[in-house]
Structure 1
Amino acid sequence: MIAGTTGAAQVYAAEPAKAAASGVLLSGIDTQYADKSVKPQEDFYRHVNGTWMKTAQIPSDRSSAGAFMDLREAVVPRLHAIIEGLAKNKNAADSDAQKISDLYSSFMDTKNIETQGLKPLQADFAKVDSLTDKKQLPAFMAWVNRISVTAPYDIQVHQDNKDSTKYVLDIGQSGLGLPDRDYYLKDDDAKLKNIRVAYLKHIETMLSMAGDKEAVKNAAAILAFETELAKVQWTKVELRDPVKAYNKIELSKLADLMPGYDWDAYLNSLGVTGKISYLIVAQPSYLTSMNSILQATPLDTIKAYFRWHVLSSAAGQLPKQFSEESFAFFGKTLRGVPEQEIRWKRGVRLVDAGMGESLGKLYVAKYFPADSKARMEKLVANLLLAYQKSIDTLDWMSPETKKEAQAKLSTFMPKIGYPNKWKDYSALQITKGDAVANLRAIRSFAAQTELNKLGKPIDREEWGMTPQTVNAYYNPEMNEIVFPAAILQPPFFNPKADDAVNYGGIGAVIGHEISHGFDDQGSQYDGAGNLRDWWTKADHEKFAAKTAALVKQYNAFSPVPGYNVNGELTLGENIADNSGLAIAYKAYRLSLGGKPAPVIGGLTGEQRFFTGFGQVWRGKMREQEAIVRIKTDPHSPGEFRANGSLRNMTPFYESFGVKAGDKMYLPTSERVSIW
């Protein structure tokens, strides 16, 4: 519908003061953040968020601010109040409530932490120092993997990508202290090079404070070792290919991959012998090269490397000089954050990371009303219906592939709010008054929980996020879409608002996650969660042509001068933004049942829908953080997630009167329409 396309879009009438109280639905739009001096046809993102962009300040303890971060920050004091409440109660010994209270109080007991100094790490240092022969490395590496300290390779337990009825152990590249291989290898980038120089100094400072009398020499050797690992690692773009990263290797063949490496010792120490008959190796060439690097590197350097990562991984639980030095590099230098977060917030995040579901159970009881879940279920049902209808109209998908797509869509499993079955923390041992031991305990518990899955049936009730997480995800192996309770708040979801803004907000998020099942990665999995090519060759070619155009569009966006978005790295998320918006719009139209949408706040239903989409991507970040994200994050910056998606959406043009010559305009032939 083309109505009020030139004038009404810039009229943001105030919400009726008593609207919500009287039962009248609000528009759900943050009118205070709009910039009416910017036309929607020129820069829709700034039209919707411009005043906020001009006036909002990134808090001194954060690297970014915006819709996502503001919600995440709003959750923290709620969790803090829950934790503080538990501390006031008389909790049963070994109960989750007592463990949460002890975990938090141990981290907050800075006097005890200062008194203890590095004593809590002495056993770990002694284990590193006990290495006298490289033949001991496999068993040692298993210990390091189990306590989640950085090592040249890491492990993950998940469903076998080609047999989703089984859990499998996956081994992949790791070992770097900096965010990406580019930080080690890009000599022509002054900013990355400066970070590398600062990292070297940071290692030297930390080792020196820990009593290493050869800190300068060891820091240089550690950086050189990590640089060698970086040279043979796969790029983030290469890692996006699930077929290339699926390499099933029988245990008896592991010796061919890493000659001389005692895999039996590794698997025995890991505790998985007899539970598996093969591994999935994500990057075989990396492991082979890594083995050569280990053989060529002096044992003293390897020991210095592990001492460094044991120390660095526990810095937050160590005396002030260590935690502050760690923040000075990883927070201030690397990400541009001026001030370290106040300790109680860090304590809450520790509990959230270590006992998140137990904390989440208390969170949803207090902050997630049943009617929000019911309304979300309706939204999800409408989005799935819109996808179902859309599949049959796609011009790039053949009839045989459409049949498979419908079959996959019919098996999608939505999870909303919180899990039906909560995680059992009875095996987690928390020690009152020992912050380092508790850090080790929650990491070891998490690792053991994963390893315990091997040989057991798939747990389809498990969640990969806690209810208090402001995010959502699609898991191709489960073929599930998951929406935690904490994201179901304004501006994503407003139970007091008209449907238009909710479809533009959380509706587009739902559509985004569903579309991951059909993007360049998710489309390689069938409805059962198995890697299987169910597309015709012609479908692949047509889809590749559309996505190549999307790559080109996003490659042109530059959030930081000299640093462009990587259209290949962000392709999956850009496809999902494009598709999610298109399907959410169709679902919104379906929800109207043929009736016209009301005009609220001077905006038509369509205009509120697109405005709802634009406002959820409101955000800004420090330059250093933006560079880290460009190098590592598969998501584009919020500005381009908004404008980049809308420029490809013809109904947006109709709703706001976008025409040739406007900055938001793309010729019809250049618009990428996937769904």
Structure 2
Amino acid sequence: MPNARPAFPGYSALALALVLVAGLPANDAAAAAKKKAEPAVTACTDFYSFTNKPWLDANILVDGSGTVSALGQLRDLAARQQRELLDSAMQSPQNNVQKLLGDFWASGLDVAAVEADGAQPIAPLLARIDGIRRSKDIPPAIAALHQVGIPVLFQFTPDLDLADLNRHIGYFTQGGLGLTDPTYYTRTDADTQALLGRYRDYVEKILVLTGTSADKAAAQAQQVIDIETRIAAASKPMSLMRDPRNNYALVQTDTLGKGYRHLQLDAFLEAQAVKDDVVSLSNPALFTELDTMVDKIKPEQWKAYLRFQVGNAMAPYLSKSFRDADFEFRGRVLRGETVPPPRDQLVLDAINLAAGPMLAREYVSRYLPATTVSRAETIAGEVRDALVHAVERSTWMSEPTKAQALDKLGKLAIEVGRPKRDLDYSVQPMGRGSFGGNMLIASTWRHREEMKRIGSANATRRWEVLAQQPALAYDMAHNRLVVSAAVLQPPVLDMTQNAASHYGSFGALVGHELGRSIDAKGKFVDAAGELKTWWTPEDETAWSLRTAPLVAQYSAYPYPGLREVKVNGNQTLEENVADLAGVELAWDALAASQPELPKESKQAFFEGWARLWAQQSSEDDATRRAAVGVHAPGQWRVNGPLVNLPAFGEAYGCKAGTAMQAKPEQQVSIWR
């Protein structure tokens, strides 16, 4: 953030203004006079700009690209806190977990040690692969790589059992490719063929780095791509994979040995310590093809494929030659990056990937005071109560649906900080001499703990986000609000601000998410956690009629920073509805907790909401967001809901029919 502008000693504000105006050329002086004549921005003309002017003035885009935002700065703060924690753990660890983290961090920052280590961290894995002699040796090697967190040939992960959302099952799904989309291997257009050529060069480089002689590298690279092409041809389109129902097909685990005899999936599960009776395997044609490939493709070709997969997965964590090859293809070609990430960012990302839950435990202990947890739990509970009261008085929701909604809200859980269940942190010691070795140790631990999720009624004991990542979300599968430790900081929850502002920022975000439990998204999961629609057709119609005016409202807003572009009211409708609902519910919660609110507190509530969405975007980034973004830009996330709230007009004396206060008959409400 730029430093505040220095004072000019010896001048009063008036004298300084006169000096500046006197020094302007004639045309600039006229422009200044015209600007002076323009009406000042007020709370009733543009509350977003009125509240956020100091932030907007202090956060100009330096290089004219990307986006800077208040919530983006919160993410940056959380990352700095993680670095500070790791620095402390490196210098003076206070417990066993900190010792592990400190050694991991130190090994990653020691570039000289990383260079000296070369490819040594993966040498044992490559030796295991080189020991393959017959087809029956291939499946155990595949299982061993999965155990250290390098999934080859296919993916096997825990996920929710769609028939019982309180438990996880193992999912066998497609994977094993170096390119992100199976169609890259089969499309014939010029761009795809060029990409495939660049990928072939990358495969060749990684093979050489993992020990293939230069004269054999091209042939082996083609062998790798041939295997991946066969996998891709048997894989389903990515568009189908986004629907979890397309990945769900239960099979008995005791049938896998016979059904996929060469692939040895029964032995694979045993190696992962999975003992459940069922798994999901939704694409049997793919696994039949993999079974055939294991039997028919020669071991030497499999060795090339597996060696590449190891080098590809571990390249960011090894010496410079590996990192350069990885960045040139994955960074420049696939992600469009121009420079590699800073060393400390690469190491931090690695730790979050492989040892994220360890870092989460220490982050919460260091950065989340008990008073903040208590405040967050109180406000979230009051917003939930406000939603209960809103349902009870609702005029658009039918009585049967009200009963279902109240049942669901009565069972809704609020979890703040981190998951309640701790993990088993017993793990092989980490030294400071091998970053790649530590990455494999941590990945093996993370994989072990993930496999423990399978087959037990413990789904609610884990989160899908880490405590050190700012997150506030409604978990629809388990009917709970998840609030991470990292999000409980300014601008979301600023304990130094007026208490009423906590409701306008944190409380409104809670309302935004809790509304999901019973709205047009929440209607698909009932209070018992079953996947079924519990709204009536009449509720569907009433909801559509109630929310439809927001399409026209937001479609009339110009997109900040773009000429002749408006917000897409249809594209952003779902989030606009949730924003309005969130502010309504948070205001009700504040009014219930403090019936006699002074004007200062009323205004603090709305200022808290406005400070959440401060942002500056470049023209290119704004153009992209306008085309595909599901959120309105920050200015309208602030102003759009407030236009519809009489409480806002009362707090600032805004007359009906002005920019920041719609006429009563034009105001939209969700729960008001």
3-state SS, counterpart of residue 599 of structure 2: coil
Q: Is the 8 A contact 2:184 2:196 kept in 1?
A: yes
Q: Could you say which residue in structure 2 is the equivalent of 1:445?
A: 445
Q: Could you say which residue in structure 1 is the equivalent of 2:8?
A: none
Q: Give the Cα–Cα distance (whole angstroms) in 2 for the partners of residues 610 and 668 of structure 1.
A: 24
C-alpha distance 303-65 of structure 1, shift in aligned 2 (>3 A) = farther
Q: Is the 8 A contact 2:508 2:609 kept in 1?
A: no
C-alpha distance 645-118 of structure 1, shift in aligned 2 (>3 A) = same
2:382 counterpart letter in structure 1? N
Q: Is the 8 A contact 1:158 1:168 kept in 2?
A: yes
C-alpha distance after superposition, 1:321-374 (max 9, x if no partner): 222332344445544544433323433443444444444444344432322222
Identity of aligned residues (%): 23
Return the index of the structure with the highest Cα Rg: 2
Alignment coverage as a number of residue pairs: 622
Matching of residues 148-227 of structure 1 within 5 Å: 148-178=149-179, 199=199, 201-212=201-212, 213=214, 214-216=216-218
Q: Give the Cα–Cα distance (whole angstroms) in 1 for the partners of residues 479 and 583 of structure 2.
A: 20
Matching of residues 14-413 of structure 1 within 5 Å: 56=59, 65-89=68-92, 95-130=96-131, 138-178=139-179, 199=199, 201-212=201-212, 213=214, 214-216=216-218, 238-239=240-241, 241-251=243-253, 261-272=263-274, 275-281=275-281, 284-285=282-283, 287-289=284-286, 291-292=288-289, 295=292, 303-394=303-394, 397-413=397-413
Task: Give ranges in structure 1 of 5+ residues lacking alignment.
Answer: 1-34
1:249 counterpart letter in structure 2? V
Q: Give the Cα–Cα distance (whole angstroms) in 1 for the partners of residues 308 and 572 of structure 2.
A: 33
Q: Could you say which residue in structure 1 is the equivalent of 2:10?
A: none
C-alpha distance 420-223 of structure 1, shift in aligned 2 (>3 A) = same
3-state SS, counterpart of residue 482 of structure 1: strand
C-alpha distance after superposition, 1:128-182 (max 9, x if no partner): 4455666665544433333222435322324433224543222333345455668
3-state SS, counterpart of residue 529 of structure 1: coil
Q: Does 1:511 align with 2:511?
A: yes
Q: Is the 8 A contact 1:478 1:528 kept in 2?
A: no
Q: Give the Cα–Cα distance (whole angstroms) in 2 for the partners of residues 396 and 408 of structure 1.
A: 18
Normalised by the length of structure 1, the TM-score is 0.74
Q: Is the 8 A contact 1:501 1:611 kept in 2?
A: no
C-alpha distance 654-79 of structure 1, shift in aligned 2 (>3 A) = closer
State the shift of 1:319 in Å.
Answer: 0.6
Q: Is the 8 A contact 2:97 2:358 kept in 1?
A: yes
C-alpha distance 194-57 of structure 1, shift in aligned 2 (>3 A) = farther
Q: Is the 8 A contact 2:49 2:635 kept in 1?
A: no
> How big is the alpha-carbon RMSD for the aligned residues of Structure 1 and Structure 2?
5.1
**Greater displacement, 514-523 / 492-501:** 514-523
Q: Could you say which residue in structure 1 is the equivalent of 2:27?
A: none
Q: Give the Cα–Cα distance (whole angstroms) in 1 for the partners of residues 647 and 271 of structure 2.
A: 63
C-alpha distance 582-53 of structure 1, shift in aligned 2 (>3 A) = same
Q: Could you say which residue in structure 2 is the equivalent of 1:608?
A: 607
Q: Is the 8 A contact 2:474 2:516 kept in 1?
A: yes
State the shift of 1:494 in Å.
Answer: 1.0
Q: Give the Cα–Cα distance (whole angstroms) in 1 for the partners of residues 166 and 42 of structure 2.
A: 53
Q: Give the Cα–Cα distance (whole angstroms) in 2 for the partners of residues 260 and 148 of structure 1.
A: 22
C-alpha distance 653-118 of structure 1, shift in aligned 2 (>3 A) = farther
3-state SS, counterpart of residue 168 of structure 2: strand
State the shift of 1:122 in Å.
Answer: 2.6
Q: Give the Cα–Cα distance (whole angstroms) in 2 for the partners of residues 627 and 250 of structure 1.
A: 46
**Greater displacement, 372-381 / 140-149:** 140-149
3-state SS, counterpart of residue 392 of structure 1: helix
Q: Give the Cα–Cα distance (whole angstroms) in 1 for the partners of residues 656 and 201 of structure 2.
A: 54
State the shift of 1:414 in Å.
Answer: 1.1
Q: Is the 8 A contact 1:152 1:175 kept in 2?
A: yes
Q: Give the Cα–Cα distance (whole angstroms) in 2 for the partners of residues 608 and 630 of structure 1.
A: 29
State the shift of 1:401 in Å.
Answer: 2.3
Q: Is the 8 A contact 1:96 1:425 kept in 2?
A: yes
C-alpha distance after superposition, 1:298-328 (max 9, x if no partner): 6666654443332122122211222233234
3-state SS, counterpart of residue 307 of structure 1: helix
Q: Is the 8 A contact 1:335 1:628 kept in 2?
A: no
Q: Give the Cα–Cα distance (whole angstroms) in 2 for the partners of residues 384 and 207 of structure 1.
A: 56
Q: Is the 8 A contact 1:157 1:451 kept in 2?
A: yes
3-state SS, counterpart of residue 448 of structure 1: helix
Q: Could you say which residue in structure 1 is the equivalent of 2:29?
A: none
Q: Is the 8 A contact 1:519 1:576 kept in 2?
A: no
3-state SS, counterpart of residue 167 of structure 1: strand
State the shift of 1:388 in Å.
Answer: 0.8
3-state SS, counterpart of residue 490 of structure 1: coil
Q: Could you say which residue in structure 2 is the equivalent of 1:425?
A: 425
Q: Give the Cα–Cα distance (whole angstroms) in 2 for the partners of residues 89 and 145 of structure 1.
A: 34
Q: Could you say which residue in structure 2 is the equivalent of 1:8?
A: none
1:276 counterpart letter in structure 2? D
Matching of residues 561-572 of structure 1 within 5 Å: none
C-alpha distance after superposition, 1:469-521 (max 9, x if no partner): 22233333432212122111111111122345433322232223323433555
Indicate which of 576, 583, 586 corresponds to 1:584.
586
Q: Is the 8 A contact 1:142 1:269 kept in 2?
A: yes
Q: Could you say which residue in structure 2 is the equivalent of 1:24?
A: none
2:87 counterpart letter in structure 1? E
State the shift of 1:426 in Å.
Answer: 1.6
Q: Is the 8 A contact 1:647 1:665 kept in 2?
A: no
Q: Give the Cα–Cα distance (whole angstroms) in 2 for the partners of residues 567 and 197 of structure 1.
A: 42
State the shift of 1:576 in Å.
Answer: 4.7
Q: Which has the higher contact order (CA 8 A, sep 6+)?
A: 1
Q: Give the Cα–Cα distance (whole angstroms) in 2 for the partners of residues 460 and 466 of structure 1.
A: 14
**Greater displacement, 375-384 / 100-109:** 100-109
2:277 counterpart letter in structure 1? S
Q: Is the 8 A contact 2:572 2:631 kept in 1?
A: no
Q: Give the Cα–Cα distance (whole angstroms) in 2 for the partners of residues 472 and 36 of structure 1.
A: 38
3-state SS, counterpart of residue 482 of structure 2: strand
Q: Give the Cα–Cα distance (whole angstroms) in 1 for the partners of residues 42 and 398 of structure 2.
A: 40
Q: Does 1:475 align with 2:475?
A: yes
Q: Give the Cα–Cα distance (whole angstroms) in 2 for the partners of residues 666 and 298 of structure 1.
A: 73
1:101 counterpart letter in structure 2? G
3-state SS, counterpart of residue 471 of structure 2: coil
Q: Give the Cα–Cα distance (whole angstroms) in 2 for the partners of residues 619 and 228 of structure 1.
A: 46
Q: Is the 8 A contact 2:524 2:531 kept in 1?
A: yes
Q: Give the Cα–Cα distance (whole angstroms) in 1 for the partners of residues 561 and 194 of structure 2.
A: 17
Q: Give the Cα–Cα distance (whole angstroms) in 2 for the partners of residues 610 and 327 of structure 1.
A: 40
